[in-house]
């Protein structure tokens, strides 16, 4: 009786694990398909030109200088 119960338990466990495995495989396939479809209809935007970054870098240098001046003033007073 106990052997039969153990075998039934293993069958039930295999059925549950198989169901979860198939669900996860299906989920992965559907997510990859959805990603492909979305990339087809909504492609990645192209990279912006480099000129706005150089203007931003000049502003960053001014900000860094202001922060450095504020820190040195704070340390002195």
Sign of torsion over alpha carbons 30, 34, 37, 43: negative
Residues 16-67: pLDDT tens digits? 999 999 999 999 999 999 999 999 998 887 766 545 556 677 678 888 888 9
How many residues are given for the chain?
77
What's the pLDDT at 2?
Answer: 76
The torsion angle over the Cα atoms of residues 11, 12, 16 and 17, rounded to 10 degrees, is -40
Is 0.85 surpassed by the pTM of this model? no
Q: How many domains does the chain have?
A: 1
Tell me which residue range forms the domain holding 29: 2-43+50-76
């Amino acid at each position: 009786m106990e052997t039969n119960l153990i075998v039934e338990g293993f069958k039930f466990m295999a059925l549950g694990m198989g169901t979860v495995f198939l669900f996860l495989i299906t989920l992965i396939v559907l997510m990859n398909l959805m990603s492909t479809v979305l990339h087809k209809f909504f492609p990645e935007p192209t990279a912006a030109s480099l000129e706005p970054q150089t203007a931003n870098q000049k502003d960053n240098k001014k900000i860094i200088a202001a922060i450095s001046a504020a820190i040195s003033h704070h340390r002195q007073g």
